[in-house]
Amino acid sequence: MAAHGRSALRDLFDESPTPHIAHPPRTHHRDFYVATDGSFRESGGGLGAVIETRDGTRVARVATTDMPPDNNVAEYRALHLGLDVLAARAPRDARVGVLIDHDDLASNVNSTILATNHPDGKPPRPVSIPAATRYHWRGILARLHGFGEVRAARIDSDQNPAHPLANTPDRYQHVNQELNRCVLPEMPEPSAAQAQFPPPSRADRNTGGGRASD
């Protein structure tokens, strides 16, 4: 349960590992958080996205049916969709926290961001993109570079608020009728304790088996 006055997405982001990137408290101050999920089934899948500001204000929710050829494509399409929706509602200098339950996708996002900031343009690990997702990855890259700062956190599918939207999109069609909102988050109050005593990195926590959702 989210703390009073804080976003459920922010809480998840704060407590989740961010592959390849150290995660001290000062890095938690995102302006927007977007959780996405994609589902694949032979009978049809779906895409889901939830966007909130750091102070817990909901910006948008999306639930749509889809027919991806496999789970990887579903996850990449969902992130592409979520970032497109966010880009239409956020300023270009926004600090964004991405929450996804697909290990390789979270790793690829952070590796790409780190490569952009590296003098030699080298990621900490090779970025391997499934061939069927390459066009969606191209769109994701365009969105990632359109924000001020981006970091991806890896969460479990049962914690992902976008999971039910993607897995049962027919039940959540009503969320697409919610009014569009362009909401700027309130400015956070600085914390001296956080600035002086950052905890050790959580970047390598829970690096066991994959946790990609279905």
* pLDDT for position 7: 61
Q: What is the DSSP letter of 163?
A: H
Q: At 96, phi and psi to the nearest 5? A: -120, 135
What is the Cα–Cα distance from 37 to 50, expressed in whole angstroms? 9
Q: What length is written for the chain? A: 214
* pLDDT for position 111: 92
Query: Where are the strands (E) in 23-139, listed by range?
Result: 32-39, 45-53, 58-66, 95-100
Tokens found for residue 24: 């001290």
pLDDT per position in the chain (214 positions), as tens? Answer: 444 455 689 999 988 989 988 766 665 679 999 999 999 988 889 999 999 998 888 999 999 999 999 999 999 999 999 999 999 999 999 999 999 999 999 999 999 998 987 777 777 788 899 999 999 999 999 999 999 999 999 999 999 999 999 999 999 989 888 876 666 666 655 555 444 444 444 444 444 444 443 3
* pLDDT for position 214: 39
pTM: 0.81
* pLDDT for position 61: 95
Q: At 181, phi and psi to the nearest 5? A: -130, 135
Query: Where are the strands (E) in 56-200, listed by range?
Result: 58-66, 95-100, 149-154
Query: Where are the strands (E) in the chain, listed by range?
Result: 32-39, 45-53, 58-66, 95-100, 149-154
Tokens found for residue 93: 């200098």
Q: Is 32 helix (H, G, I), strand (E, B) or coil?
A: strand
* pLDDT for position 60: 93
